[in-house]
């Protein structure tokens, strides 16, 4: 039909219609339009957050204060154990059989010998780079803050931190003109004076309770600058509450006593552009669907020929899946969904892993570099992408989770579609609590949360619920993987493996799998109920 004839046809249709019908049609169309608009209109205005990795202003202040303290008391700085360390062994001794048994000696080992001298500089550079970003993520945000209160006692309110069984200076001060004694009391360690100041009486040096007095206020204050605390009761992560007391006044502060977080750094390959093969492992779990799995592998190889693929497989009669950069782990039959995720993730040795389902396949839109960039530049631990269905529909499955405290019956769990903020600098990405089962994540963080292996069939959000409070989750809709159709067309007969799969994967609401899931939420997570939309 040419344009002219179609126009005249339309015209004649309109002419044929009575005017009233036209009016009704117009009203109907407008109502539908308004409803559609209202529906798609965002009900909430989202703010943008800056989650980029960089130390905040507080941390800089802390460093500054620390250096000041150290230079003021340089002669006791050895107590602070902030200087470079050395590993020294005990020398001498005799080289006889049983010598180590009879005269045990400390031995020292250099670890850099694990590398060739020629590559050591490059290794050091990479390690320093990874350590710097680790520090940005893990340095506690507590700056040293000293209360210069309307109280005659000046003391640190937060930010005093030390290693177990070591010694730290606790800077105090008094402005009590009546020259009352100052008492200091600790509970998990002892108090000492690192240097004695003339004209000051010290009682209880080396004990948990110490009293300082002097007729000269400046001398007393000088002495208060040299009080040290030594932790004597070991705990890897605890705090001591120290009490400072003078006539009628009392102040308390805590000293955090804990081991530092041991870094887990990953060698992420050479400088320059992101090397996906060195940074990412693709992890998946398969059950019966070998044809789909092969499609996934083929599609990955098209874009990332050397990336490692880890496959956990709990099929009854496992088939061989082999090829370069493929690790196929066979599990007991029907071990289940989360057990498989756990196994696959436990074998990852790269900094990040990408989770994919076995019926996904990569396309030119599956740009892993973009997701790597988000995790490298922000404090996020996990970032989801989008999954495109065969129908063309794209899903990100963004969910927010909140827990409302309850009484003896347990807490209330609320899951809602949506997200918290847009991420500054990444307009396609948001901060949320749960995402779709296509995500890139920090291997060590996900290994800490783990997947509960009891969840064997339908499970997904349970992982994000377990990770609440420790995982920083994001979602980007511009990295897309495709999904082999899940919507079964009635005229296409299912293959035998698909039939068996469907029977396993989609149990009914009253089934054992649903009972297991609710039981775990009830007992393990101590929830009494759940709401979601
Ligand atoms: C300080 O400690 C001494 C004992 O060491 C005690 O006699 C005195 O009452 C204490 N002073 C205050 C203000 O608590
Ligand atoms: C990327 O990393 C892989 C695995 O570590 C390595 O074999 C490959 O040489 C690296 N490629 C580049 C361009 O550095």
Q: Read off the pLDDT of residues 477-521 as tens digits, 9 standing for 90 and up.
A: 999 999 986 555 444 455 555 666 565 555 555 567 778 888 888
Burial class (CB in 10 A: 0-12, 13-18, 19+), 413: buried
Distance 439 CA to ligand 2 centre (A): 22
465 in the same domain as 498: yes
Q: Is 278 in the pocket of ligand 2 (CB under 6 A)?
A: yes
Helices in 139-229 by DSSP H: which ranges? Answer: 217-224
Token pair listed for 126: 């990479």
- Evaluate: CB of 404 within 6 angstroms of ligand 1: no
Do 217 and 301 have their domain in common? Answer: no
Whether residue 164 is found in the same domain as residue 285: no
Name the β-bridge partners of 255.
Answer: 160, 240
For ligand 1, whether the C-beta of 358 sits within 6 Å is no
Instruction: Mark whether 395 and 498 lie in a shared domain.
Output: yes
410 within some domain = yes
Least confident stretch, 47-56, 189-198, 485-494, 506-515: 485-494
β-pairing verdict for 209-214 and 249-258: unpaired
Q: Tell me the HSE value of 207 on the side-chain side, using a 13 A CA sphere.
A: 10
C-beta of 183 in contact with ligand 1 (< 6 A): yes
Q: Of 261, 286, 302, which residue constitutes the final position of a domain?
A: 261
Give yes or no for residue 18 having a pLDDT over 70. Answer: no
φ/ψ (deg, to 5) at 108: -120, 145
Regarding whether 481 and 397 lie in a shared domain, the answer is yes
> Residues 61-104: pLDDT tens digits?
333 333 333 333 433 444 444 457 888 888 766 666 677 677 77
321 and 249 belong to one structural domain:
no
- Counting ligands in written order, the one closest to the CA of 275 is 2
Start-to-end CA span in the chain (Å): 48
Q: Is residue 96 part of a domain?
A: no
- Report the CATH number that the domain containing residue 361 is assigned in CATH: 3.90.550.10
The H or E element containing residue 504 is helix 496-505
Most confident stretch, 7-11, 116-120, 193-197, 473-477: 473-477
pTM: 0.76
| pLDDT of amino acid 71 | 34
pLDDT at 6: 44
C-alpha 116 to ligand 2 mean position (Å) = 18
State the total domains in the chain: 2
Same domain, 64 and 194: yes
Q: Is 448 part of any domain?
A: yes
Mutation choice for ligand 1 from 183, 220, 250, CB with most ligand atoms inside 8 A: 183
Q: Which helix (H) or strand (E) holds 117?
A: helix 117-138
Residue 137 belongs to some domain of the structure:
yes
Q: 270 in ligand 2 pocket by Cβ < 6 Å?
A: yes
pLDDT at 482: 94
CATH code of the domain containing 159: 2.60.40
277 lines ligand 2 (CB under 6 A): yes
- Cα of 190 vs centre of ligand 1, distance in Å, is 17
Ligand nearest to the CA of 349: 2
Residues 281 and 254 in one domain: no
| Nearest ligand for residue 277 CA | 2
- In whole angstroms, give the CA distance from residue 321 to residue 299: 15
Does residue 91 form part of some domain? no
Q: Quick one: average pLDDT of 347-376? A: 95
Please check whether residues 473 and 386 belong to one and the same domain: yes
Would 12 be classed as within a structural domain?
Answer: no
Give the whole-number percent of the chain exceeding pLDDT 70. Answer: 79
> In this predicted model, what pLDDT tens digit does every residue of 28-43 receive, in sequence order?
777 767 666 666 555 5
- Count Cβ atoms within 10 A of the Cβ of residue 135 and give its class: 0-12 exposed, 13-18 middle, 19 or more buried: middle
Which residue from 126, 267, 268, 270 has its CB within 8 A of the most atoms of ligand 2, so it is best to mutate? 270
Mean pLDDT of the chain: 81
Q: Determine the Cα–Cα distance for residues 136 and 265; give it in Å rounded to an integer.
A: 13
Please work out whether the CB of residue 245 comes within 6 Å of at least one atom of ligand 1. Answer: yes
* Rounded distance between C-alpha atoms, residue 264 and residue 128, angstroms: 12
pLDDT digits (tens, 9 = 90+) for 300-309: 999 999 999 9
Q: Which atom of ligand 1 is nearest to the CA of 246?
A: 13
Residue at 380 is within a domain: yes
**What per-residue confidence (pLDDT) applies to 248?**
79
- What is the spatial distance between Cα 479 and Cα 36, in angstroms, rounded to a whole number? 27
Domain boundary among 261, 285, 312: 261
Q: How far is CA 137 from the centre of its chain?
A: 9
Q: Which residues contact 134 (CB under 8 A, 6 or more apart)?
A: 263, 265
Cβ pair 373, 274 in contact under 8 A = yes
Note whether residue 107 is domain-resident. Answer: no
Does the CB atom of residue 211 touch ligand 1 within 6 A?
yes
Determine the Cα–Cα distance for residues 378 and 329; give it in Å rounded to an integer: 33
Q: Supply the range of the domain harboring residue 166.
A: 60-80+120-261
Q: Which of 181, 191, 202, 246 to mutate to test the pocket of ligand 1 (most atoms within 8 A of CB)?
A: 181
Which of 261, 294, 309 marks a domain boundary? Answer: 261
Domain shared by 75 and 222, yes or no: yes
| Cα–ligand 2 centroid distance for 269 (angstroms) | 6
Residues 283 and 353 in one domain: yes
Q: Does residue 337 sit in the same domain as residue 312?
A: yes
Smallest-distance ligand from the CA of 185: 1
267 lines ligand 2 (CB under 6 A): no
* Closest protein CA for atom 11 of ligand 2: 275
- Cα(306) to centroid of ligand 2, in Å? 8
């Amino acid at each position: 039909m040419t344009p002219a004839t179609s126009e005249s046809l339309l015209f004649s249709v309109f002419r044929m219609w009575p005017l009233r019908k036209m009016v009704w049609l117009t009203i109907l169309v407008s109502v539908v339009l308004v409803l559609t608009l209202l529906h798609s209109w965002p009900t909430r205005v989202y703010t943008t957050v800056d989650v980029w990795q960089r130390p905040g202003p507080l941390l800089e202040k802390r460093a500054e204060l620390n250096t000041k303290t150290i230079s003021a008391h340089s002669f006791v700085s050895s107590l602070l154990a902030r200087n470079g360390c050395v590993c020294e062994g005990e020398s001498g001794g005799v080289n006889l059989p049983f010598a180590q048994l009879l005269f045990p000696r400390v031995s020292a080992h250099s670890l850099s010998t694990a590398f060739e001298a020629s590559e050591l500089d490059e290794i050091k550079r990479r390690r320093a780079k990874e350590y710097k970003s680790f520090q940005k993520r893990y340095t506690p945000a507590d700056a040293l803050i000293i209360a210069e209160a309307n109280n005659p006692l000046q003391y640190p309110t937060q930010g005093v931190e030390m290693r177990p069984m070591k010694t730290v200076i606790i800077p105090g001060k008094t402005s009590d003109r009546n020259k009352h004694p100052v008492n200091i009391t600790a509970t998990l360690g002892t108090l000492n004076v690192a240097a004695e100041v003339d004209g000051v009486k010290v009682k209880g040096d080396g004990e948990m309770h110490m009293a300082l007095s002097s007729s000269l206020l400046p001398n007393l204050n000088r002495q208060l600058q040299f009080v040290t605390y030594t932790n004597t009761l070991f705990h890897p992560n605890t705090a001591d509450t120290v009490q400072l007391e003078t006539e009628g006044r009392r102040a308390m502060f805590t000293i955090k006593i804990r081991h530092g977080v041991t870094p887990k750094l990953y060698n992420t390959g050479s400088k320059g552009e992101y090397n996906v093969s060195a940074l990412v492992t693709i992890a998946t779990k398969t059950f019966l669907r070998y044809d789909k799995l092969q499609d996934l592998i083929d599609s990955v190889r098209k874009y990332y020929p050397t990336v490692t693929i880890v496959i956990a497989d709990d099929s009854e009669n496992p088939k061989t899946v082999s090829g370069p950069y493929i690790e196929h782990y066979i599990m007991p039959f029907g071990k289940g969904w989360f057990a498989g995720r756990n196994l696959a993730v436990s074998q990852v040795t790269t900094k990040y892993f990408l989770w994919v389902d076995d019926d996904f396949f990569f396309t030119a839109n599956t740009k892993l570099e973009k997701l790597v960039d988000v995790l490298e530049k922000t404090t996020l631990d996990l970032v989801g992408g989008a999954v495109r269905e065969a129908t063309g529909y794209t899903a990100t499955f963004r969910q927010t989770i909140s827990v409302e405290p309850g009484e003896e019956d347990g807490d209330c769990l609320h899951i809602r579609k949506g997200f918290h903020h847009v991420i500054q600098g990444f307009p396609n990405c948001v901060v949320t609590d749960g995402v779709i089962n296509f995500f890139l994540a920090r291997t060590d963080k996900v290994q800490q949360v783990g997947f509960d292996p009891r969840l064997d069939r339908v499970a997904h959000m349970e992982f994000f619920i377990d990770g609440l409070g420790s995982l920083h989750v994001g979602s980007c809709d511009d990295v897309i993987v495709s999904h082999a159709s899940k919507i079964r067309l009635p005229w296409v007969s299912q293959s035998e493996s698909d039939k068996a799969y469907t029977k396993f994967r989609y149990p009914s609401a009253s089934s054992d799998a649903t009972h297991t899931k609710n039981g775990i939420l009830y007992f393990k997570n101590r929830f009494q109920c759940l709401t979601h939309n």
